[in-house]
């Protein structure tokens, strides 16, 4: 079975942790343990988030006196792909001796006129108290929004239209390679309508939506979205909270999940299932093997009543 796995950005850097390299290197072992068992039985493509990491690089870039202007988000996203891809490749190399593993810097096209550029919603970086976040917003021209435990920077998150390296990923898979790609949703860019020339975009693409597009293009059988909760919850954080263990795309969309957290994950799962007839699931990183085998998480299945 061909599985595309979307790792949350907090897989390497959990809330409240110091963003040290050693911390992320330690956390990567948990990721490897979760994925290695699946890789023994299936073709695997790994995508990953980069919210904490790109936020850290953006802060460092903005504060660097050697720079006349901070690095744009597309180049910072490319840096996170290299760093996180290397960490994953190194640990998986040790866990899966003899297996071919490749980490690929991947570019994703978006529309230059996507309305998301005028309405930033994608959280990046660390959580701040409101006073600190508002001061940084004034100083650096950031947009900020309330997260679950504080305030964070938000940036534009346009919809992914096309992944430029899909054919390369397909060839690598056919050669038996475990592929790490589309980190942070891919390096965002636009293409000139006349020449096709690429230009970087000041944005961070949602990695789950990119993973769904990649899984569709690769004709994957299963889209596995791994996060820090056991499953999708209806009424999350309220007295009426209840687990959603199975749903069709239509049922998921009726759940009204928020854009800043579970919304993109449920939409990505719904899109993949609708467009391919395959299966998708959302659940905890530590239960990855159990989710694929139907023993954990939220399973998203086709609506067989639709003609």
Residues assigned a catalytic role = 9-10, 122, 207, 265
Tell me whether strands 187-191 and 107-109 are parallel, antiparallel or unpaired. parallel
Rounded-to-integer distance, Cα 48 and Cα 158, Å? 17
Rounded-to-integer distance, Cα 225 and Cα 6, Å? 5
Picking from 84, 29, 31, 87, the residue whose alpha carbon sits closest to that of residue 56 is: 84
H-helix segments, 233-301: 249-253, 262-276, 288-292
Picking from 110, 90, 112, the residue whose alpha carbon sits closest to that of residue 101 is: 90
Query: Is 120 in contact with 143 (CB distance < 8 Å)?
Result: yes
Strands in the chain per DSSP E:
2-7, 43-48, 100-103, 107-109, 122-128, 143-146, 151-155, 162-163, 177-180, 187-191, 198-200, 222-227, 232-234, 242-244, 246-247, 279-284, 298-300
Tokens standing for 55?
A: 């936020």
Picking from 138, 116, 140, 136, the residue whose alpha carbon sits closest to that of residue 126 is: 136
Picking from 264, 118, 251, the residue whose alpha carbon sits closest to that of residue 205 is: 264
């Amino acid at each position: 079975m061909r599985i595309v796995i979307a790792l949350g950005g907090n897989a390497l850097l959990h809330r409240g942790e110091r963003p040290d390299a050693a911390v992320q290197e330690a956390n990567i072992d948990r990721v490897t343990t979760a994925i290695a068992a699946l890789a023994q039985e299936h073709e695997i493509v790994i995508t990953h988030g980069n919210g904490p990491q790109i936020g850290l690089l953006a802060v460092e870039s903005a504060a660097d006196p050697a720079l006349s202007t901070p690095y744009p988000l597309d180049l910072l996203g490319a840096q996170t792909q290299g760093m996180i891809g290397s960490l994953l490749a190194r640990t998986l190399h040790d866990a899966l001796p003899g297996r071919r593993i490749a980490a690929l810097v991947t570019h994703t096209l978006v529309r230059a006129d996507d309305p998301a550029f005028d309405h930033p919603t994608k959280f990046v970086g660390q959580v701040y108290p409101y006073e600190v976040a508002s001061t940084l917003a004034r100083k650096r021209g950031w947009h900020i929004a309330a997260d679950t435990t504080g305030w964070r920077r938000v940036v534009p998150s346009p919809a992914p239209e096309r992944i430029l390296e899909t054919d390369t990923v397909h060839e690598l898979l056919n050669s038996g390679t475990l592929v790490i790609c589309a980190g942070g949703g891919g390096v965002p860019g636009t293409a000139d309508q006349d020449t096709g020339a690429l230009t970087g975009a000041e944005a961070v693409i949602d990695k789950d939506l990119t993973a769904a597009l990649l899984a569709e293009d690769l004709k994957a059988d299963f889209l596995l979205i791994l996060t820090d909760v056991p499953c999708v919850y209806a009424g999350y954080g309220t007295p009426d909270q209840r687990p959603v263990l199975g749903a069709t795309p239509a049922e998921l969309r009726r759940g009204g999940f928020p854009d800043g957290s579970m919304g993109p994950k449920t939409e990505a799962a719904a899109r993949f299932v609708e467009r391919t007839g395959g299966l998708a699931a959302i659940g905890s990183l530590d239960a990855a093997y159990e989710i694929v085998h139907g023993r954990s998480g939220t399973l998203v299945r086709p609506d067989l009543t639709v003609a």
